[in-house]
Amino acid sequence: MSMEIPALDALFETHEFGRGTLRNRFVMAPMTRMFSPQGVPTADVCAYYRARARGGAGLIITEGTYINHPAANGEPRIPAFHGARPLEAWKRIVDAVHEEGGMIIPQIWHYGLMRRPGVEPDPSVPGYSAMAIEENGETVVRQMTQQDIDDAVSAYAEAAEAAERLGFDGVELHGAHEYLIDNFLWEKTNRRSDRYGGSIENRTRFAVEVVSAVRRAISRDFPLVLRFSQWKQSDYAARIAATPDELKRILMPIAEAGVDYFDASTRRFWEPAFEGSPLTLAAWTAKITGKPVMTVGSIGVERAFTVQDEGAGVKPSYARLTDLVEGLKRSDFALAGVGRALLSDPDWVNKIRDRRFAEIRPYERAAHETLVV
């Protein structure tokens, strides 16, 4: 098998990231884990992140952590990123990752229209989003007022400031996959007629305001990453941009507001983003903005995921490592996000580095039900 694997040296080159240096280009992608009762990460969660740092990941992006807004959470046992106890737990995780030679940033998150009443911490609170949603005659998602928008923007900034204070190495905003920032960006979930809806520029305004507020709350050399996607949980074929020009109209104002890196979330990192061009979403993002980009999507596994994927024993796949190396050399992206492969095997990066492919544990859906260390 080793003869089929390309030279991987480029993936193990260092990369300057804010105030530090990543030891390689592999990033643990953010993946929701529900192991934080009352929003507080446990010792097991700390061990889980420590194991991925010890296993070689250059940068870890945490699971989504919800900001200090009444409707920010949407599932039980999701970690919070506000309040004394959750932040103390995150500080322990930061220290553990640093002790293993890794770097770590939190993904700060608002559930947006995906939330429904009945969820902690206050079951009476509906979802908040760009537009209202009614189900069976009940308003389950509230259209945000200007005050609601201002409150959410402030909460994002508060979380980012806390990330820097706790010693994280940067911060990521979750602007993808049908959550709050994405709700404003996607025309299907933003039917507003005010300054936050209608045109692409108006739909981008909320993201710009969040990025601007976060940028003011953190230091200039504290990296700010934005995750965005075309696909949605309810529609894999969805697009916030139908053409490269539309993508430019979305990304450039966000970049100019203060984003340092883009995390271009796709289901298959190698696929072209638009007809008529071989460029991927990551490559288009780098070309448009001039910013470094993280690519992500089915790296190291045999098939792309579905949200309801119940498959077991998904075999490791190395056929696309050639594409990964070539894309990195072309500067299509600077970093490579690895998701499911790292759920089942915390040592995946080190095993790839050492070409111990036969020792890699295949991805199992069961890894979602526990914290493999």
* Cα–Cα distance, 315 to 361 (Å, whole number): 9
Dihedral (CA of 141, 146, 147, 148) sign: positive
Region of 46 on the Ramachandran plot (φ > 0 left; ψ -120 to 50 alpha; else beta): alpha
By C-alpha distance, which of 318, 322, 323, 362 is closest to 340?
A: 362
* Catalytic machinery residues: 179
* 367 phi and psi angles, rounded to 5 deg: -65, -20
By C-alpha distance, which of 215, 200, 216, 70 is closest to 144?
A: 70
Q: Which residue stretches of the chain are H helix? A: 43-54, 84-99, 146-166, 180-185, 200-217, 244-257, 281-289, 321-329, 340-344, 348-353
One-letter amino acid identity for 306?
A: T
* Cα–Cα distance, 157 to 155 (Å, whole number): 5
DSSP structure string for 43-98:
HHHHHHHHHHHHTT-SEEEEEEEE-SSTT---STTPPBSSSHHHHHHHHHHHHHHH
3-state secondary structure of 311: coil
The DSSP bridge pattern shows strands 138-143 and 59-66 to be unpaired
